[in-house]
């Protein structure tokens, strides 16, 4: 089973909970609820707005309109015509909201080819039949009274909170609890594997197979849990090894890696590769170990003969943030899937040429003869060459390419000689760098007031706790 990414209009869970707190305040305030409605409209402009969120904003607008009617122009009781006209508009607004609420939920639950009556589907969803009758009356008969329509809208708000907003919050709380358990589960897994060798349970610990099943189940149930598991596994791999990985390391992690889903393995590779690019923050021995783990994932899982059917994201991750170790990883991908050769060979040659050019510019660089004869069966010689390149880049540090300019000059600029120009492929920056087009979060969402307990306070849309 492969998780399908679901695009949502909010940037974070905090933003979603913040909007929920605006739409369901402890005490009804039109200005606060209006802010929540405005946020939902902003989500709608981004697309993929959940139907429940749209319906909540639609119901909330009805309450805001009624609040304005009670506080603004209708204080002058002498103007009876304005009052009757406003009440008629309000009844129409409430009626349309109730109709869309019932029809939207029922239509979304219908099975093509096996259509059921609106009443039967509504009963299955927990929508009372009197709301179905109210929807029928508002559509085909006289408009119901304002008090009855308002009661229906209040019930709809409570239904939406119970079946969407609060349910999502409970799921999020459950995910957060399981995320906190991930480091302990991994530690327990390593202890069981290390102590017993065969993964059997010892003392009060779970068997290794049970731990693997639990972690894999968490990874398949939630995207946030999958991300947390990948990050924690990467942390352990990075912290444990200081040299090239051995067969014992592979044996330790193979039971877990074999059971992890495709997206988990992809994200684990991306996390390790991202750490691999941090030359300023990792020792060279650790870099070699990270390269070995990346190559192991490529050859054993990601690009194996029966590997992942869609690995374009892995290739993109390597090409968007290339480093001195990227060519050897791309070569491993081509060796596993030769059909990728025509597409990846130009990138491999270019990255190799850029790396050698950087070495030639270094004063500490000697001869390239050692690099030409460094290929072997397992690629360890090539890793040594790449490690040597990385070490020279680190030793040269930030002095490479440093230019000192005088504050004032007396002569005009001169055209640089043509021989000093270097060809750069279209789409790359000077020096062969790939531009980073990832946009940061547009804004920080204020955290929700911790004093508001979303599942216990009494909503003003009804007479009891949800």
Q: Predicted confidence band at 457 (pLDDT cuts at 50, 70, 90)? A: very low
Q: So what's the pLDDT on residue 225? A: 80
Give residue for tokens 């030409």.
372
Provide, rounded to the nearest whole percent, the portion of the chain with pLDDT above 90. Answer: 15
Whole-number Cα distances in Å, 327 to 392, 424, 432: 17, 18, 14
Say what the pLDDT of residue 154 is. 92
Answer with the residue of higher pLDDT: 395 or 56.
56
Angle at CA 218, nearest 5°, toward 216 and 221? Answer: 110
- pLDDT category at 199 given cuts 50, 70, 90 is very low
pLDDT higher than threshold 70 for residue 77: no
Q: How confident is the model at residue 372 (pLDDT cuts 50, 70, 90)?
A: very low
Which pLDDT band holds residue 447 (cuts at 50, 70, 90)? Answer: very low
The Cα 288–Cα 297 span in angstroms is 14
pLDDT of residue 364: 45
What pLDDT digit, counting tens, does each position of 397-436 carry?
Answer: 544 445 555 555 566 677 777 777 777 767 667 766 666 6
**What distance in Å separates the CA atoms of residue 413 and residue 436, rounded to the nearest whole number?**
31
278 in Cβ contact with 324 (< 8 Å): no
> What own/partner pairs with CB < 8 Å and gap ≥ 24 does 346-354 have?
347/319, 350/425, 350/432, 351/322, 351/326, 351/327, 351/432, 352/327, 354/431, 354/432
pLDDT digits (tens, 9 = 90+) for 139-167: 888 888 888 999 999 999 999 999 999 98
Chain mean pLDDT for the chain: 76
Q: How far apart are CA 296 and CA 302, in angstroms?
A: 9
pLDDT of 114: 77
Task: Report pLDDT for 96.
Answer: 92
Is residue 392's pLDDT more than 70?
no
Q: What would the mean pLDDT of 360-384 be, rounded to a whole number? A: 52
**What whole-number distance in Å separates Cα of residue 445 and Cα of residue 123?**
38
Q: What is the pLDDT of residues 413-422, one digit of tens each?
A: 777 777 777 7
Residue 455, pLDDT > 50, answer no
Q: Between these two residues, 85 and 294, which has the higher pLDDT value?
A: 294
Using the predicted structure, report yes or no on whether residue 451 has a pLDDT greater than 50. no
pLDDT band for position 369 (cuts 50, 70, 90)? very low
Q: What is the pLDDT of residue 200?
A: 52
Is the pLDDT at 330 greater than 80, yes or no?
yes
Q: What does the domain layout of the chain look like in residue ranges?
A: 13-169
> Which pLDDT band holds residue 281 (cuts at 50, 70, 90)?
very low
Band of pLDDT at residue 291, cut at 50, 70 and 90: confident
Res 394: pLDDT = 56
Give the 3-state secondary structure of the chain. Answer: CCCCCCCCCCCCHHHHHHHHHHHCCCCCCHHHHHHHHHHHHHHHHHCCCCHHHHHHHHHHHHHHHHHHHHHCHHHCCCCHHHHHHHHHHHHHHHHHHHHHHHHHHHHHHCECCECCCHHHHHHHHCCCHHHHHHHHHHHHCCCCCHHHHHHHHHHHHHHHHHHHHHHHHHHHHHHHHHHHHHHHHHHHHHHHHHHHCCCCCCCCCCCHHHHHHHHHHHHHHCHHHHHHHHHHHHHHHHHHCCCCCCHHHHHHHHHHHHHCCHHHHHHHHHHHHHHHCCCCCCCHHHHHHHHHHHHHHHHHHHCCCCCCCCCHHHHHHHHHCCCCCHHHHHHHHHHHCHHHHHHHHHHHHHHHHHHHHHHHHCCCCCCCHHHHCCCCCCCHHHHHHHHHHHHHHHHHHHHCCCCCCCCCCCCCCCCCCHHHCCCCCCCCECCCECCCCCCCCCCCCCCCCCCCCCCCCECCCCCCEC
Of 193 and 411, the one with more pLDDT? 193
The pLDDT of residue 376 is: 52
Q: What is the mean pLDDT of residues 344-350?
A: 91
Mean pLDDT, rounded, for 337-341:
89
pLDDT value at residue 239: 76
pLDDT higher than threshold 50 for residue 236: yes
As a whole number of angstroms, the distance between CA 353 and CA 359 comes to: 10
Q: Averaged over 199-210, what is the pLDDT?
A: 64
| Cβ neighbours for 371, distance < 8 A, ≥ 6 positions apart | 356, 385
Residue 40, pLDDT score: 92
Distance CA 414, CA 417 (A): 9
Distances (CA, A) of 107 to 52, 112, 115, 138, 161: 13, 10, 9, 18, 20
What is the pLDDT at residue 367? Answer: 45
What would the pLDDT profile of 11-52 be if each residue is shown by its tens digit?
A: 888 889 899 999 999 988 889 999 999 999 989 888 889 999
Task: Answer yes or no: is pLDDT of 113 > 80.
Answer: no
Contacts of 191 (CB under 8 A, 6+ apart): 202, 205
Exposure string for 387-399, b = 16+ CB within 10 A, e = fewer:
bbbbebbeebeee
Q: Determine contact, residues 156/51, Cβ cutoff 8 Å.
A: no
Q: Say what the pTM is.
A: 0.55
Read off the pLDDT band of 379 (50, 70, 90).
Answer: low
Q: How confident is the model at residue 306 (pLDDT cuts 50, 70, 90)?
A: low
Mean pLDDT of 264-279: 82
């Amino acid at each position: 089973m492969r998780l399908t990414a679901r695009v949502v209009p909010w940037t974070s869970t905090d933003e979603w909970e913040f909007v929920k707190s605006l739409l369901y305040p402890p005490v009804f305030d039109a200005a606060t609820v209006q802010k929540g409605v405005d946020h939902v409209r902003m989500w709608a402009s981004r697309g993929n707005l959940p139907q429940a969120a749209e319906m909540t904003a639609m119901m909330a607008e009805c309450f805001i309109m009624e609040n304005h009617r009670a506080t603004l122009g209708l204080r002058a009781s002498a103007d009876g015509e304005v009052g009757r006209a406003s009440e008629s508009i309000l009844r129409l607004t409430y009626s349309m909201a109730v109709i869309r609420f019932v029809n939207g939920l029922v239509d979304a639950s219908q099975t093509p080819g096996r259509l059921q009556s609106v009443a039967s589907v509504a009963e299955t969803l927990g929508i009372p039949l009197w709301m179905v009758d109210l929807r029928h009356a508002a559509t085909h008969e006289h408009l119901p009274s304002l008090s009855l329509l308002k009661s229906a809208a209040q019930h709809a708000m409570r239904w939406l909170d119970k079946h969407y907003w609060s349910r999502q919050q409970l799921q999020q709380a459950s995910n957060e609890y399981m995320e906190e358990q991930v480091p302990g589960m991994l530690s327990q897994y390593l202890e069981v594997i290390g102590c017993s060798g065969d993964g059997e349970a010892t003392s009060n610990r779970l068997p290794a197979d049970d731990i693997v099943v639990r972690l894999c189940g968490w990874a398949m149930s939630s995207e946030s849990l999958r991300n947390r598991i990948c990050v924690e596994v990467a942390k352990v791999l990075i912290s444990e090894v200081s040299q090239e990985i051995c067969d014992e390391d592979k044996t330790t992690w193979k039971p877990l890696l074999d059971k992890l889903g495709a997206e988990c393995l992809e994200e684990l590779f991306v996390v390790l590769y991202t750490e691999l690019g941090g030359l300023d923050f990792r020792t060279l021995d650790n870099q070699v170990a990270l390269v070995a783990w990346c190559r192991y994932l490529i050859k054993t899982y990601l690009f194996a003969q029966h590997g992942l059917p869609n690995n374009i994201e892995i290739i993109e991750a390597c090409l968007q943030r290339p480093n001195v170790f990227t060519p050897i990883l791309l070569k491993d991908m081509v060796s596993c899937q030769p059909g990728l050769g025509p597409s990846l060979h130009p990138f491999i040659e270019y990255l190799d040429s850029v790396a050698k050019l950087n070495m030639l510019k270094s004063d500490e660089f000697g001869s390239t003869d050692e690099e030409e004869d460094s290929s072997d069966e397992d690629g360890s010689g090539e890793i040594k060459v790449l490690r040597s390149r990385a070490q020279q880049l680190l030793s040269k540090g930030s002095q490479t390419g440093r230019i000192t300019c005088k504050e004032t000059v007396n002569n005009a600029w001169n055209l640089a000689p043509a021989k000093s120009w270097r060809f750069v492929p279209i789409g790359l920056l000077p020096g062969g760098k790939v531009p980073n087009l990832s946009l940061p979060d547009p804004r920080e969402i204020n955290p929700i007031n911790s004093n508001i307990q979303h599942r216990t306070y009494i909503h003003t849309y009804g007479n009891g706790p949800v």
